[in-house]
Amino acid sequence: MADPTRRAILHRLRHAEARVTDIARPLPMSLNAVSKHISVLERAGLVRREIRGRDHYLRAETERLTEAEQWIADYTGFWERRADALVEHVEKRAAEGEK
């Protein structure tokens, strides 16, 4: 999810499935490079591939995306609390240094 190409692929799949070739067309890289990004998303369980004849269709696995969203939300809260504690500590030390 950290890679902009993978985010673009997921963005494209947010409303409907799409063929791999249609996903790859606007991206500034080869079909082979796009396929490698898709493989990473498949291994992560974020997209699922279905082969129909010669075409490969992808769709987003929304349940997995919801799980990722929850994980991010949990850790966002954790790091916000840690950052607040750091600010409080720095301000306290600064105030002590002024005395």
Other residues' Cβ atoms within 10 Å of the Cβ of residue 41 = 23
The average pLDDT across 83-93 equals 90
pLDDT at 99: 64
Q: Does domain 4-60 have CATH number 1.10.10.10?
A: yes
The whole-model pTM stands at 0.70
Please report how many Cα atoms fall inside a 13 Å half-sphere around the Cα of residue 76, on the Cβ side. 6
Please report how many Cα atoms fall inside a 13 Å half-sphere around the Cα of residue 41, on the Cβ side. 29
d(CA 95, CA 98): 5
Does residue 47 contact residue 38 with C-beta atoms inside 8 Å?
yes
d(CA 44, CA 16): 19
- 65: amino acid identity, one letter: L
d(CA 93, CA 95): 5
pLDDT tens figures, 13-66: 989 999 999 999 999 999 999 999 999 999 999 999 999 999 999 999 988 888
